[in-house]
Chain A
């Protein structure tokens, strides 16, 4: 590994999301909430979703983490707003597979999420990138079951 690998991990777009994370605001109404924990470092994230019908109309991301998990949460806030919960769930699944080495389907627009592929060269950091997304998957399940999410972990 080298500076190249490092610059692939911390691409400018990632550092920008880290410095200016999106979704760090109070939302009008919390319809679904879920929390995620990365037991290896103790980082926690809480997602709050405002939902109209089955469409996510606002997202709040609460919690502090490393640059990778903060950026990943920020991209999540930007990306899933306006999508249906089912779409958001699909993006989360694609991202999970992507982090484990699969290429995303060609037609999918993953926005800034593509920039996180550099994390794949740092296997221990993959959990950092996935934390907000596994939390989102739990939020989707919670919504379907009509409950608030439980704290899930990246393990």
Chain B
């Protein structure tokens, strides 16, 4: 095949399934953990926002690494080391492609999205001075709050926050005032892990760039659920985790523009991240290796491309349509339960595949225990977003989150489970 043919093939539209064809049951069967039962019920897994289940392809690839070519990367000269290094670097290329990072060398392999966000905060510390400002939002996950709080404690920078509206969207009416001459960094989540809101990242990024600020996006809840393109979003850095998009545990990524990676200082020193080491001084390797001290999680890296393969095969547009349709169905069903408070935008087009709610009659912990008895796995608590919950006026919510394997019958099981919980507490 010539290069031109490859291009043509790449650009050719993927065959779209007809409206009547239901491909999703087959997709769901690729996930072995979903075939088990819980408390004598079919497992209904509605906790994908915490971590997605893993398809057979990912599990097999991780096993294959340990069975066939386990070796440390980058240092060895032997065959296994070369194969392991090739697999690790293939992961970097695929992870970069998934979010349209400028190039594989613009992608740092980390432990998780939290580590990636910490890496940016710590890496830019030396560029910040007392009184400089970092703009965040009220809806952020602790992973995009605490690293900046720690930075503020060390440097005296000022943290500001974009407020949210009552329907759970960013209130951008004051964005012009919040962005000041001192704003150096703007960091925000792409999709809220509690409200489900898809934030207008491109709009915020444009305004931030007009003031010369660096823009960071926490894409932990969007990658793998909708098409994510760093260029379209117009951000300088993007953090995500493999495990939330059907990949293995213990693996995350920081995709960033080359000039930002050059500017950032490494957070950890050690093997792999150096160029030359003397007893009293050292020079760093070029990015991305500058940020990858020590032996990485090669097994997970070897497995992650299988998750990307699956997402590409299904098509992220199709994944998005599937989740949007199910989120709409969940909103419709749950709204019919009297008294149930549902958070976030009411239009499914404005939200990702998750729904958080509060039942004034049943505390989220009790709700989660009762739902678990019906085989329905949800998350209860503050979902690592305490400031947001304070804003919502509750200490905890119950969250149901969807994935490629989710179905209307899962939503029906949730609906029936909530009714069961209500009857149980108020017979």
B is a partner of A: yes
Residues of B close to A44: CB separation below 8 A: 395
Residues of B close to A65: CB separation below 8 A: 363, 365
Residues of B close to A125: CB separation below 8 A: 365, 369
Residues of B close to A40: CB separation below 8 A: 381
Residues of A close to B386: CB separation below 8 A: 42
Contact at B373–A41, with CB atoms within 8 Å?
A: no
B 376-392 to A, binary, CB cutoff 8 A, 1 in contact else 0: 00001110001001000
A10-B424, A66-B363, A66-B364 given; A42·B369 CB < 8 A: no
A1-B373, A42-B389 given; A64·B395 CB < 8 A: yes
Q: For chain B residues 411-427, which have a beta carbon within 8 Å of chain A?
A: 424-425
Candidates B373, B380, B389, B425; contact of A67 at CB < 8 Å? B425
Residue of B nearest to A40 (CB): B381
Contact at B381–A41, with CB atoms within 8 Å?
A: yes
B181 CB-CB contact with A under 8 Å: no
Contact at A41–B380, with CB atoms within 8 Å?
A: yes
Query: In the bound complex, how far is the Cα of B365 from the Cα of A42, in angstroms?
Result: 11
Contact at B39–A2, with CB atoms within 8 Å?
A: yes
Q: For chain A residues 104-153, which have a beta carbon within 8 Å of chain B?
A: 122, 125, 128
Candidates B39, B363, B366; contact of A1 at CB < 8 Å? B39
Q: For chain A residues 59-97, which have a beta carbon within 8 Å of chain B?
A: 64-68, 70
Contact at A41–B366, with CB atoms within 8 Å?
A: no
A 1-36 to B, binary, CB cutoff 8 A, 1 in contact else 0: 111011001100001000000000000000000000
Candidates A2, A3, A9, A70; contact of B369 at CB < 8 Å? A9
A2-B39, A10-B424, A67-B425 given; A43·B396 CB < 8 A: yes
Candidates B40, B369, B382, B424; contact of A122 at CB < 8 Å? B369
Residues of A close to B369: CB separation below 8 A: 6, 9, 122, 125
Counting chain A CB atoms within 10 Å of each CB, the highest count among B364, B381, B389, B395 belongs to B395
Counting chain A CB atoms within 10 Å of each CB, the highest count among B363, B364, B382, B425 belongs to B363
Counting chain B CB atoms within 10 Å of each CB, the highest count among A3, A42, A43, A125 belongs to A42
Contact at A15–B425, with CB atoms within 8 Å?
A: yes
B370 CB-CB contact with A under 8 Å: yes
B 341-370 to A, binary, CB cutoff 8 A, 1 in contact else 0: 000000000000000000000011110011
Query: In the bound complex, how far is the Cα of B389 from the Cα of A44, in angstroms?
Result: 14
Residue of A nearest to B427 (CB): A15
Contact at B382–A41, with CB atoms within 8 Å?
A: yes
- Interface of chain B, main secondary structure: helix
Band of interface residues on B: 10 to 19
Smallest CB–CB gap between B121 and chain A, Å?
22
Contact at B425–A41, with CB atoms within 8 Å?
A: no
Smallest CB–CB gap between A13 and chain B, Å?
15
Query: In the bound complex, how far is the Cα of B149 from the Cα of A16, in angstroms?
Result: 43
Query: In the bound complex, how far is the Cα of B382 from the Cα of A40, in angstroms?
Result: 8
Residue of B nearest to A15 (CB): B425
Smallest CB–CB gap between A151 and chain B, Å?
14
Query: In the bound complex, how far is the Cα of B225 from the Cα of A9, in angstroms?
Result: 37
Query: In the bound complex, how far is the Cα of B358 from the Cα of A66, in angstroms?
Result: 12
Smallest CB–CB gap between A4 and chain B, Å?
10
Residues of A close to B395: CB separation below 8 A: 41-44, 64
Residues of B close to A10: CB separation below 8 A: 366, 424-425
Residues of A close to B373: CB separation below 8 A: 1-3, 5-6
Contact at A68–B380, with CB atoms within 8 Å?
A: no
B 143-165 to A, binary, CB cutoff 8 A, 1 in contact else 0: 00000000000000000000000
Q: For chain A residues 35-55, which have a beta carbon within 8 Å of chain B?
A: 40-44
Query: In the bound complex, how far is the Cα of B395 from the Cα of A64, in angstroms?
Result: 9
Binding site for B on A (CB under 8 A): 1-3, 5-6, 9-10, 15, 40-44, 64-68, 70, 122, 125, 128
Given contacts A1-B373, A42-B395, 16 further A-B contacts (CB under 8 A): A5-B373, A6-B369, A6-B424, A10-B366, A10-B424, A41-B380, A41-B395, A42-B381, A42-B386, A43-B396, A44-B395, A64-B363, A64-B395, A65-B365, A67-B425, A68-B366
- Top 5 nearest A-B pairs (CB, nearest first) are A66-B363, A42-B395, A66-B365, A42-B382, A41-B381
Q: What would be 12 A-B contacts, judged by CB atoms less than 8 Å apart?
A: A2-B39, A2-B40, A2-B373, A3-B373, A9-B369, A10-B425, A41-B395, A42-B381, A43-B395, A64-B395, A65-B363, A68-B365
